[in-house]
Each structure stands twice: as structure tokens, then as C-alpha cells.
Structure 1
């Protein structure tokens, strides 16, 4: 298997298409205190030598006023900016305090909306009109997208964002309608969702910025979580010139496996084949969670309701096995014990071959298992909502099966190989980011360790493969991984779950300030901060100094374990995390025509051998 993996890593990457007339981001600086506003239409002074950092590590950059009024955006000529026709449908001046979606604008903007052909991609771009500090931030989209959301959740204290000094945009990725999947009957919509939508939006947004302010953005950034994290990695892998810094949270990088075997497993394994009823119910989750904490909470030296390093936790659910005569509400039946263990370990075939990473859900996140563990034995499991749309419409290059059921998914090696071929255009698991690194791009990966949707192991595997393929020293020059204890999918959870990733990305890209600790907070319903904790770049973890409040980040230091807890790295899809598998697709009428990437038969051979070592 190792020899086969090395062979894959040595294959040549498919030639990347050019990014059209995308605007290159120049290296200069940013000022947190705005310079005096200039008259309408005038140009601010630009000094490329003004690269000294301020207290946040960001570069000092003068603010710029628009070179035209908002209404004039409607008449912009955007021909040739991307590979499709661009139509601006509205350009509206909005005041500070206006509510757009779920966001309240901190400063006035010119809100631009439009479409990008040849499909029906919608985009929205918000351009500050009272002082733009020459940055652009593109927001990723979660789930199967299908909506516009100009939002930056991982920028809670990022001054350009909170002050409204940054241009921001988002796209619906080629369709409306979200998670029902029927939009994927359009071949072009599939391509836009897979990788083109975010790229085309970046090209268009930067072109509009260049015209509106009479200068390009100095720095461009991408912030996304969940599928937005996949989009972030897709940008770094396929379009390395689009962004200077990227924040990829809880990335759904292995989208096909996640939306089939990963989400289907806790539903399938939890049904009694004789009665058709669910066995493990949500009422038992607090019991399981308390037992896991009892076993592993104190491993880090602090008992605080959070397991800091679940990979070091060896919780055995059989400790909850009911004794004779014990109240069933206080313990687990043998069947329930087996289901708990299976949910943690992840999907396998009947011989124990792993069909996903070898830890599917980490210990400590059991309260979040209500996503897929139903309240009553009639069900259903909530995870079915993620599986069925994918099986019906996205698990095909051409064709669909609207009547798909869970029984169509076969938990076998053969079933795996029939399910994952669309990885070659939908997945974002290529670990060779050499082009992105060469142009100075910076990447921060992060994941919550209580994630109920996407296993943190997939992000860890991607990071480790990046180091294997590119070399640890080279990877360390442009990427970091943060694992947040007690944080659920893209936020929430039992641990400190409010933090700012975007400022760290910006500071690294602009002034070379390498990311160190990121302080995460718990903020209660009244807005008061009740706990802060530092999170350090993986593999370091926070350790209590032994004095002071354990709710204060100042009383923790970084500690790098001598060795990471052993986790079996072998599973049937390990080869997906290898360079060169990507195909590039075109829509030919209603059909998807994809070319490039390695020969799929080679992967089939490798997968068969991987299964041998994955038991």
C-alpha cells in the first residue's frame, strides 16, 4: 500500500487552466485607523513601502474612497473577466445598520448583485463606500449551498470585517434550492458547485473592485467552513492565484464519502434488522457523554467538561453495560454498546475493512449525536437528509435516481468503488499545494473536535498527507492546523467556540506574522465571556500551568506530546488523499464530460490492497 501511495504521489498533476483575467493581489498594507476621507472620485495615496505591522499583525494600509458612485456599477463592462457572461442586476447604496440576510452592516456599502453564465450562478458583492482598506474577503457556502450569504463567522474580532472596511462577496455556487439535490440535474450546475462557482466569483468580484476604486485589492482572502471548507481547499488546489490567504474550517474535502458512507452508517447500524426499529435513542446520549468525560476529561490535567485530545481517549462503552436487574435508563444493552462503538469507529464492511477514516466521531461529542440518533424508535435518523439527496442526484456523472434509498448504498469494497468515482471533480483532497505555496499563499486549516457532521480525522489526514507529499518544512512555511476541543460542527459545542481565524490568516499573508495561539472563548447568553482557552498549532495542545483560574487562557501554555496517539491510517479510500486525481469537466448539453486525473483502474487496484491493511 505504501509503495502504491508513493507511486500515486509521483504522478504528474493535470495541467491547471488559466484563471482568465483575474486581478493579481499586490503586497502592501492596512491602517486600522482610517485616513481622512478623500473627496468623491479622488485617488488615495498608495505607498507600497508602507508594510509595517500594527498591533494585530496586519499591515498598515491607507483607506481608499470609491472612484465612482454606486449606480455607475450597473454600466460596468465585465466582458472577458471570466469564461461566462456577467450581468449586474442591481447596485444599491445601503447605509450602516441595514440588515442584509442575517447580517447588520457596520458601515455603508454599495451592494452589488448579478449573475455569471453559462449557468445561473448568483453573486453578491458589498463594497465599502466610506473607506476601503484594500482587502477582499470571499465567504464560502455550506451544505449543498443554493443561497447567498455574505458572512465571515470566523472573523469575530477581525477589525476590517467588524468595522466594515473590507469588500466581501459570496455566491450561490450555480443554483438555488439548497439540499434537495435536484438542481444537479444540470451539468453546468454540478461544475459550478464542484469548483467553478467560487473561482468565477473571485474573478468577477476583483474586476468590479478594480473599477469601483480605480485600483485592485491588495490582498484577497477566502473564509469557509463545512462545504465552505471544501471550497476553500478547492481554491488552493485548483486556482492557486485567486487568494493570498485561506481559512478552511471543518472541510468537507472528501465530500462523496462524507455524504454517503459517513452519514449513512449511524442510521444503518442503529436499526434492528428484525423489527426495523431504531435501537440507540437520544435519551441515552447524556449517559454516554458523562461516561466518556469520566474516562477522559482529566487526561489533560483539568476537569472542565471537555476532552482536549479525544485521540488519546480510550473510553470503552461496555463500562455502561447493564447489570442484572439494573434500570435500563441508567445503562446500555449489549446492542446499544455495539452501536456506540460502531458510531465512534465509523463505517466498515462485513470483514472490518474501513470505508471511511478509522475514527468517525470523536469521544466527547456524544451530545451532538442527536443529529443522527433519533428520539423514538420509529426514527428517522437526521443523517438520512444528507445521504438521500446525494445518492439521488450527485453520485453520478450523468443520470439520477430520485427514488434512491439507503439500501442502494452497499457497505462493501465493490460498493465503495461504485460510489466514489465523482470524487475526481467534487472532492478537494489533493495534498500537493506547491503552486499555492510558491506564490506566497497562506492556509489555516481548523476543525472542532466535537464535530458531528465531518470527522476531524479527515482534516488531520489531509494535513499529514500535505507534509508527506510536500515535505514537513515546506508545508510549515505556509500552512497550520488548529483543532478546537469541545467545538461542534463549525461552532457550538461544550468548549470555547468563539474565535477569530481570519485575522491570523491576514497577518501571516501581509506581514509574515506566523500564527501562534488562537484564543477561543465561551460567551454566555448575556454576552459575558465565561471562559477563554488558547489553541495552539497542531500537534501542540494547551496545558494548565498549575496556578490561576482554569477559565483564563493566560494560565495555559503549549505542550507538544512526544508522540501522537496511534490511529490506524489505512482505509479503503486512503488513495483519495493523493495528488493528480482531479478531472476538469465541461457541460455538453445536459451531460457532464470530465477529463484528466489518474486512471481510475489504478485506484481500484490500490483500494483493494488498502482494504487488506485496513482491517
Structure 2
């Protein structure tokens, strides 16, 4: 990484612009002062790229299968497709005119398996919209979900390593080599942006390969992947079933439940607007809407349903009440998004079971063990079962809070999460943030990292809150100009029109209505720091709190059909939530 105050600054235009105004549909009032780099033209033809010798660029052989000029977008680019042995498919896009010397790599979601460049919350970044950034992505070592889903990992340790971390790193090495050959010079800045598993990939890069990227935007990161795809989603299902397998709570009750939550907590932040800016301040009791004798059951909860609601909100526990994930699994206010795991009718198999838990537990959750017939009832909600399950966190999860090497190289990290995320708890990202502050010290963390929490927003977007936000521009402004992000405007866009805008501020600050003007206009809100951070009983004292520690990550190799990792187990013992 180059010194931004020295050689990199010299690459800017002599007339140092105050910045470029970013006015994407996501945030029309947002301005981001990014750097200005001289546009660069290619020094070779796109058709000649497949003939390049890329030996030694990464730890596997590189095959460039094709290079084609694409002219259907806003600007033409050379699309390069190829593989990194044994099976990492990559796509690199190289602008054929006016490259602004930036490289942006994007992540993928779920269990990946598809190479698709998706800028996510960076789509409204002006250089991205103009088509002047070089970009790349990878399928992370396997193609498609597999049949059955997740089976690509069975007896295929290299595919597991590629999915865990290698695919993204090797792709960055190859893409940068292609950039250097195609343009005759290296990129000035390199960025990674991803959400969900892409957020996990982002954090894995900062932790394992701090030299790869100057700026990393990690959204709703599946950082604690093993717990998330076993105990979190498993609890979503098991907490809502009778002993006979019938569901207790059905989705028809969710709108009524949501209205009750808003009646209790919408005004806690001083404004009745349908959003709860910090759900930890809401102390809703589902018992408060239990049916009274003679009441229409469509307007209330049975005692059994109320208990399910409490369990879903709180999160997975063992029989003694020790938490097997961070408390606050599904925050109050997110109830309309619970259809991910609350079915509309008996007999349905919900997403949490069929897509989240079963493929992962059968083929990835346990070292060198494929169990195609594994069922949710095989997941043991106790300490022994927990520690047996989370051993694979040593290579799959990205929860090492010590980012000293990334910071020392000048790296910047921007974390964000929707409070109403129905897939991955925002409390998990808060747990990681807390662990960073404990490990590195709050002033150090503040020097290179920011966390934004978006009220009312679901997984990587959606929900009732403003969810359109340009975070890549904010990162470019920070890396290239030293302008650390502060007030960032998020918008709700419906049919192409902005219906509401709100500012978000670095955690723990929140937006507060100034008292005049429209409550749907970000201009009428100011920053407010609660006198006491509202962690309350969300103290992250759960059974797996030690997973957020430095030194647990394993180095793994593929030996035949087995994955061999050092250390072979997590470097700490079993324990309870205290």
C-alpha cells in the first residue's frame, strides 16, 4: 500500500478538487469528496489478454478463457473470464477508456457458487455509475449450489478452503496482475464491497490478507457463519414447533404483532414514524397481547404463541437458559420480516431450515463429515453440541477482532447492518464491534473503522426503513482524501422516487428529529449520542463469546479428501454463557 500523503497524492490532478458530488438515486443530497485520478487508457488490446502469461501471480495456475469487449453498458469494458486452479471462476471488467485507476472487488452471498459482479451499496458511486472502475468477483471455488444443495463441499477440502477465504484473495491477485498488464500500471486504490457472505468475505480479507485492499465495506456480515447457519437459524424453526412437529406461530399473526410492538416502542426515540431507531431500548412484552377470554384470536396471541415470539426475539438457548447466540436475535420492530422462518401454513418448510441450516450442517458444519440425512433434530442445544459444532469456526468464520495489521497498512473499514435483518442478527455485528474495541482500544478503532446501523432495514436492504445508501463513495472519500465518513444519508426509494430520507451516523450516534419540517426529509434530523450506550442486557455474555478473539483462525490444507487444519480445534475450552 502506498503512502497516501506522498506518492499517491502526487497522482491526483494538480488542481485538487473539493470532491465530486454523488447524486445517485439512493442518496440525492449526499456529497462525497473522493479523489481525482488522471484517466488512463489501455496499453494492449482486449483480444490479446488470453495470451498473457500469469504464472506465479497466485498459488494456482491461471487460465484466461476469454476476453471480450462489452459495449452494452454506460461505458465499454473488456470482460475477462477465467479460472484459478482448481476451480475458482473469476470475472474481471477492465474499462477500455478513461479508467480512473481504481479497483473494486465485489463479494457474493449465501454459499456463493456464482460469479456475478454486484456493487450493492456502492452501485450509486459515481465512478461505478460512469463505468470507470476496474472490477472483479469470483464464485469462490465451486459452481452452482450443488445437487443436493451444499454437496459441492463433500470430500472436497480444497473447495471448502476456496469458499472460506482463498477464492477472494487469489482473485484479487489475478485481477491486479491483469490491471497492471492491461494498463501498464497498477491501480491507485483497491476496494472490496460485499454483503451477507460478501460481508464475511470482506472481514476475512481484513483479517487474513490485510494488504489486499485499501478500503473494505462489509455489510450485514455472516462473520460468525457456523453459529448463524446452525443455532441461529435452527432455533428459528425449533422454537416454533410443538413436539408433534406442527408449527405454533403462523405468519398471519405477524402484522398484528408488529402493530403492538410499534404501539409500545415507536415513540421511544421521540418520534412516532413507524421506525425504532435502536430496538434495544424497546422492552416489549409479548405477554401483553395474550388473548383474554372471548377475544377474537386474530387480534391477540395464545400463551404458546407469545412464548414463541419471546424465544424468537431473544435467540437460541440451552435448557438452562444459557445463550447459544447473542441475545436479541430478532429485534423488536422486525416482525414483518419473520416470514423467512414463520410459515403461512402447516406443512411448509421454511427458508431457515431448507436453505440456511440443512445444506450447511450436512456438508460444511463438521470437519470432514458429510451427513446427507442430517436433520434439525440432530442439532443439540447444549454445551457439548455447541462446542462440537463450532469447531469449524476456526476456518469458516471471520470474527478475529485484531485488525492491527490492516490498520497499520492504512486500511479503512466501514461496517453496516440493518437493525431488522431477518437473516443475520445485527447483535452479532455489534458483538464483533465491541470485541474490536476491547482488543484494540476504542480510539484506535475510531481511527480506521466506522459502524452504521440502519433502523427498519432488513438483510442487505429491504424492510420499512431507508435502505438505499452509497457507502462506496464514503469509503473512497476516506481512503483518497482522508475525509472520514460521518453523516450519511439513506433513502427509501419506491418506484424510482424517494419517499423518505434519513441520516445515519457512526455508532453509537443516532439521528434525532430537530422538531420542525417533514419527518421524511433527512435535512430535518441531527446527530444525537445517547448518554448511555443501550447495550443493557445485550452484554454479549453468550456461550460462544470467545469466538470473537484473536488467534483462533486455522491454516488449512487439502490432503486427499480431508481438510487438515492447524490448530485442529478452537484454541479455548468449553464454557457456559458466563
Q: TM-score range by the shorter chain?
A: over 0.9
Q: Extract unaligned runs of 5+ from structure 1.
A: 1-23, 30-44, 99-104
Matches within 5 A, 1:179-328: 180-185=149-154, 186-273=156-243, 275-328=244-297
Contact 1:191/1:585 (8 A) holds in 2: yes
Matches within 5 A, 1:21-420: 24=1, 27=4, 53-55=18-20, 56-95=32-71, 98=72, 105-117=73-85, 119-178=86-145, 180-185=149-154, 186-273=156-243, 275-385=244-354, 386-420=356-390
Q: Deviations over 1:518-553 (max 9, x none)?
A: 10001112x111111000000000000000111100
Other structure's SS at 2:413 match: strand
Question: Would the alpha carbon gap of residues 371 and 408 (structure 1) be closer, same or farther in structure 2, given more than 3 Å must change?
Answer: same
Cα offset for 1:178? 2.3
Aligned to 1:10: none
TM-score, normalised by the number of residues in structure 2: 0.94
CA separation in 2, counterparts of 1:399 and 1:310?
Answer: 39
Contact 2:80/2:93 (8 A) holds in 1: yes
Contact 2:158/2:557 (8 A) holds in 1: yes
CA separation in 1, counterparts of 2:325 and 2:77?
Answer: 45
Q: Deviations over 1:144-203 (max 9, x none)?
A: 000011110111421110110101111000001227111112110000000000000000
Q: 2:422 aligns with which of 426, 442, 452?
A: 452
Cα offset for 1:139? 0.3
Q: Extract unaligned runs of 5+ from structure 2.
A: 21-31
Cα offset for 1:47? 5.7
CA separation in 2, counterparts of 1:92 and 1:499?
Answer: 32
Q: How many residues align?
A: 560
Which is worse superposed, 168-177 or 392-401? 392-401
CA separation in 2, counterparts of 1:235 and 1:372?
Answer: 31
CA separation in 2, counterparts of 1:313 and 1:276?
Answer: 32
Contact 2:12/2:35 (8 A) holds in 1: no
- The alignment status of 1:514 with 2:481, answered yes or no, reads no
CA separation in 2, counterparts of 1:278 and 1:391?
Answer: 22
Contact 1:232/1:246 (8 A) holds in 2: yes
Other structure's SS at 1:477 match: helix
Aligned to 1:19: none
Question: Would the alpha carbon gap of residues 25 and 110 (structure 1) be closer, same or farther in structure 2, given more than 3 Å must change?
Answer: farther
Question: Would the alpha carbon gap of residues 256 and 369 (structure 1) be closer, same or farther in structure 2, given more than 3 Å must change?
Answer: same
Cα offset for 1:494? 0.2
Other structure's SS at 1:160 match: helix
Contact 1:28/1:48 (8 A) holds in 2: no
Aligned to 1:493: 463
Question: Would the alpha carbon gap of residues 207 and 26 (structure 1) be closer, same or farther in structure 2, given more than 3 Å must change?
Answer: farther
Contact 2:102/2:188 (8 A) holds in 1: yes
CA separation in 2, counterparts of 1:529 and 1:418?
Answer: 48
Contact 1:25/1:244 (8 A) holds in 2: no
Question: Would the alpha carbon gap of residues 52 and 473 (structure 1) be closer, same or farther in structure 2, given more than 3 Å must change?
Answer: farther
Cα offset for 1:238? 0.2
CA separation in 2, counterparts of 1:153 and 1:219?
Answer: 19
CA separation in 2, counterparts of 1:111 and 1:156?
Answer: 18
Which is worse superposed, 378-387 or 289-298? 378-387
Cα offset for 1:308? 1.0
Cα offset for 1:569? 1.9
CA separation in 2, counterparts of 1:209 and 1:348?
Answer: 50
Other structure's SS at 2:572 match: helix
Cα offset for 1:27? 3.9
CA separation in 2, counterparts of 1:158 and 1:213?
Answer: 22
